[in-house]
Chain A
């Protein structure tokens, strides 16, 4: 249904383009029409529907599901490969269960995509027409790729047990690779449509008339930054949703084996989510930096204008993510008796994470206009003010990442004792690396925060990120050598975690969903009253930029619908597995 929609729209646009071409033939070579100038009357009003909210929610639902179904095959493939390399059947089973969950979500993604196309066609016909006229080829390609995606996904999933063992497994892995490739290209196309509306390219800047090269339109300024950001975020998101699935199953399972299985699955998903979460702030900084470079006006609207408070909201959410990840790791230490050696450290880690969270939370009140300055009661605080700006936030986020990594490092050694002769020295070196890294990050943050006065305080971020990376990589290397042949003191007992840890997994999924919705609003909102920034004006009655509270309500409504569908899918998979177990 989805493909045929686009194909139909495609046809319509094409025949129309032919007609206009024919008319213009008399004049000179075919020229492209300018972007339409609309009035409020050009936006169909149907019933009492608020068309913007409708399109907003449908688009958001499509995006959540799409992010999920695009991300899952990425790590399913990796886990499958791990299973193949280690010959551990557990990995293979888990990978299969992951993809099974994403199958149900796949059809919902397509339905949402179809709904989105419909609602755009109905409520924003001129915008839709303008975009399809620019992206005619990529939209056609998109339709074909969607077929390819469905085909490879079906073969990959239904052929899982058929293509087992030896060479057949290689064939299966290759199909998985094709699936991922097609999925990624699909997303890149969709990203191009989105980024075009933020940073249009390949059209006449005055009139919006197409200049003839679709590649220029696709390869617009913000395309690649958004591509990277979305791939990374999708992985983290996919991990968190699968984590919620595992938590759901864990809480519902009675047998010890099931609990062990789903505990392990939840743990793995959590690691995947964290793996995606850690680089995410940096992908975000790159995106924002590019937004500034593309248009300083847009950048300031984003970071200092109406949206400034949104980043406080974002800080709350990311804080919630980090806290729940850490909490989950701490709970997980209980899987082994060996954890008593480390539990006393946890309160310090917790304190550090909370402190970082508070710094991140400190608002920075840049203001948009003089009126707003008055409304908000003055600019930022003299001493606390620098806590609100980039260097401090960078510092906080880097330390938060290091602390989370520390939790992880401690977690990994709860059940072992290193036996190598230099174990004590190794641990001391690791401690020194942690201390040095943190010290360096704080120094850089303070230096750039208080003592430089450049417009781009972002300058501190690169050395800070490097410090974080050095700490992580160095610790991992030392760890891997130090714990070679380590003695197991108390085995990890999967399934042996308190139920409240599972709620940490839920918090992760729920916060992530909400965060994505909010950031989606901001990404779209910074265009303000433009459909296509500075090219095609939004003249509908809904052209105003909503307040954060309003946006939060819409996002929540969408998120509740999303979670309801997701939990329903979980429940469905439950009855189907019960049935197959009964056989």
Chain B
């Protein structure tokens, strides 16, 4: 029995040493909480906000700095100064005799680097004689950026280098589905809020928004009556408008058909009254 207790005591002693060291001997690094899938409100964004979004993606969800940092030397620096800014050397990449990719502009080169990393592999960083890049396709798998986020990162990188930002804020980006599943948002209180919340401005000129995919809605109440407008939002394909921007005919199926299901009754009523009054 004495031996038994001695051994138990000894084991506990050793364990305590280990736990103690693990808790107090080394710094406790808290990992970032799992990334949340945010819904991008691109329709509302200025270029500065778009660049800030790129910054956030680059340093967060994109996990770019995991490899592209100046500590590990596992990947070339992207957001440094001068030579270390990738947008500055992108034109040189296109002239590189090894370059076999499809990009023709620096912007396309950056996009290609992210979506098909092995199209061109920076010398010394790849495997199989620099034909295979260790960089993951950032639009897939565990990183899973949307195209809009990729563009935001490009804008961020270009801005960082001081070259002209050539990317456009994409319009009509499909909202990320998971975010909506997660939690119903607060109901909007004014018609303007409804328009922002459901992103009408991504496609339409309406209020302060400048979308250019669907018809201009600033004076829609002049030519269309209430029941038409109700139907236009609830069942967009019932009537197809003829006056889409640029003189092109409107395409059926462009406008999301599920607003009716997503809006609350009062949001919908507010919106319709707002449209009716837009004369």
How many residues in B have their beta carbons less than 8 Å from beta carbons of A? 52
Is A552 within 8 A of B10, CB to CB? no
Contacts of B144 in A (CB 8 A): 534
Is B66 within 8 A of A297, CB to CB? yes
Is A453 within 8 A of B59, CB to CB? no
A268, CB-defined interface residue at 8 Å: no
B181, CB-defined interface residue at 8 Å: yes
Is B26 within 8 A of A533, CB to CB? no
- Segment at the interface with B among A224-232, A372-380, A477-485: A372-380
Contacts of A544 in B (CB 8 A): 31, 33-34
B185, CB-defined interface residue at 8 Å: no
When chains A and B are docked, how far (Å) is the Cα of A102 from the Cα of B114?
53
Is B21 within 8 A of A313, CB to CB? yes
Contacts of B72 in A (CB 8 A): 300, 304, 366, 455
B125-145, CB under 8 A of A: which get 1 and which 0? 101000000111000111110
- State whether A295 and B73 are in contact (beta carbons under 8 Å apart), knowing that A506-B11, A507-B14, A567-B7 are contacts in the complex: no
Cβ-defined partner of A510 (8 Å) among B15, B134, B140 = B15
Is A295 within 8 A of B28, CB to CB? no
Contacts of B15 in A (CB 8 A): 510, 514, 556, 559-560
Is A316 within 8 A of B21, CB to CB? yes
When chains A and B are docked, how far (Å) is the Cα of A538 from the Cα of B142?
12
When chains A and B are docked, how far (Å) is the Cα of A300 from the Cα of B59?
15
- State whether A296 and B7 are in contact (beta carbons under 8 Å apart), knowing that A37-B181, A39-B182, A510-B14 are contacts in the complex: no
B67, CB-defined interface residue at 8 Å: yes
When chains A and B are docked, how far (Å) is the Cα of A225 from the Cα of B29?
28
Contacts of A301 in B (CB 8 A): 66
Is B18 within 8 A of A556, CB to CB? yes
Cβ-defined partner of A309 (8 Å) among B4, B26, B34, B127 = B26
B197, CB-defined interface residue at 8 Å: no
- State whether A252 and B66 are in contact (beta carbons under 8 Å apart), knowing that A37-B181, A506-B10 are contacts in the complex: no
Report the minimum CB–CB distance from A503 to chain B (whole Å).
6
Report the minimum CB–CB distance from A424 to chain B (whole Å).
43
When chains A and B are docked, how far (Å) is the Cα of A292 from the Cα of B135?
11
Report the minimum CB–CB distance from A312 to chain B (whole Å).
6
Is B29 within 8 A of A309, CB to CB? yes
When chains A and B are docked, how far (Å) is the Cα of A549 from the Cα of B30?
10
Contacts of B69 in A (CB 8 A): 367, 370, 373
Report the minimum CB–CB distance from B72 to chain A (whole Å).
5
When C-beta atoms are compared, the residue in chain B nearest to A378 turns out to be B71
When chains A and B are docked, how far (Å) is the Cα of A251 from the Cα of B67?
53
Is B74 within 8 A of A455, CB to CB? yes
Within 8 A of A (CB), among B13-38: 14-15, 18-19, 21-35
Report the minimum CB–CB distance from B238 to chain A (whole Å).
28
A-B contacts, CB under 8 A, total? 149
Contacts of A313 in B (CB 8 A): 18, 21-22, 26
Is B29 within 8 A of A376, CB to CB? yes
B63, CB-defined interface residue at 8 Å: yes
- State whether A251 and B7 are in contact (beta carbons under 8 Å apart), knowing that A317-B18, A370-B59, A376-B27 are contacts in the complex: yes
B3, CB-defined interface residue at 8 Å: yes
Cβ-defined partner of A368 (8 Å) among B4, B7, B66 = B66
- State whether A252 and B31 are in contact (beta carbons under 8 Å apart), knowing that A373-B71, A560-B15 are contacts in the complex: no
A63, CB-defined interface residue at 8 Å: no
A53, CB-defined interface residue at 8 Å: no
B218, CB-defined interface residue at 8 Å: no
When C-beta atoms are compared, the residue in chain B nearest to A560 turns out to be B15
Is B135 within 8 A of A534, CB to CB? no
B41-85, CB under 8 A of A: which get 1 and which 0? 000000000000000000110010111010111100000000000
Is B19 within 8 A of A556, CB to CB? yes
- State whether A205 and B18 are in contact (beta carbons under 8 Å apart), knowing that A297-B67, A506-B11 are contacts in the complex: no
Is A549 within 8 A of B14, CB to CB? no
When C-beta atoms are compared, the residue in chain A nearest to B133 turns out to be A296
Is B23 within 8 A of A553, CB to CB? yes
B261, CB-defined interface residue at 8 Å: no
Report the minimum CB–CB distance from A183 to chain B (whole Å).
28
When chains A and B are docked, how far (Å) is the Cα of A372 from the Cα of B32?
10
Is A563 within 8 A of B65, CB to CB? no
Contacts of A308 in B (CB 8 A): 29
B178, CB-defined interface residue at 8 Å: yes
Contacts of A372 in B (CB 8 A): 29
When chains A and B are docked, how far (Å) is the Cα of A390 from the Cα of B277?
70
Contacts of A300 in B (CB 8 A): 66-67, 72, 74
Contacts of B59 in A (CB 8 A): 369-370
Report the minimum CB–CB distance from A562 to chain B (whole Å).
10
A453-475, CB under 8 A of B: which get 1 and which 0? 10100000000000000000000
Is A206 within 8 A of B140, CB to CB? yes
Report the minimum CB–CB distance from B52 to chain A (whole Å).
15
Report the minimum CB–CB distance from A221 to chain B (whole Å).
13
A440, CB-defined interface residue at 8 Å: no
Contacts of B143 in A (CB 8 A): 297
Known A39-B182, A455-B124; further 12 A-B contacts with Cβ < 8 A: A39-B181, A313-B18, A313-B21, A370-B59, A375-B29, A380-B71, A455-B73, A533-B142, A543-B34, A548-B29, A549-B23, A552-B23
Top 5 nearest A-B pairs (CB, nearest first) are A552-B22, A529-B34, A549-B23, A534-B141, A534-B142
30 of the cross-chain contacts (CB-CB < 8 Å) are A251-B3, A251-B6, A252-B3, A296-B74, A296-B135, A297-B66, A297-B136, A304-B72, A309-B26, A309-B27, A309-B29, A313-B22, A316-B25, A369-B60, A370-B59, A455-B124, A455-B125, A506-B10, A511-B18, A514-B15, A528-B31, A534-B140, A534-B141, A534-B142, A547-B29, A549-B19, A549-B24, A559-B15, A560-B15, A567-B7
Which residue numbers of A lie inside 8 Å of B, CB to CB? Answer: 37, 39, 205-206, 248, 251-252, 292-293, 295-297, 300-301, 304-306, 308-309, 312-313, 316-317, 363, 366-370, 372-373, 375-376, 379-380, 453, 455, 503, 506-507, 510-511, 514, 518, 528-530, 533-534, 538, 543-545, 547-549, 551-553, 556, 559-560, 563, 567, 571
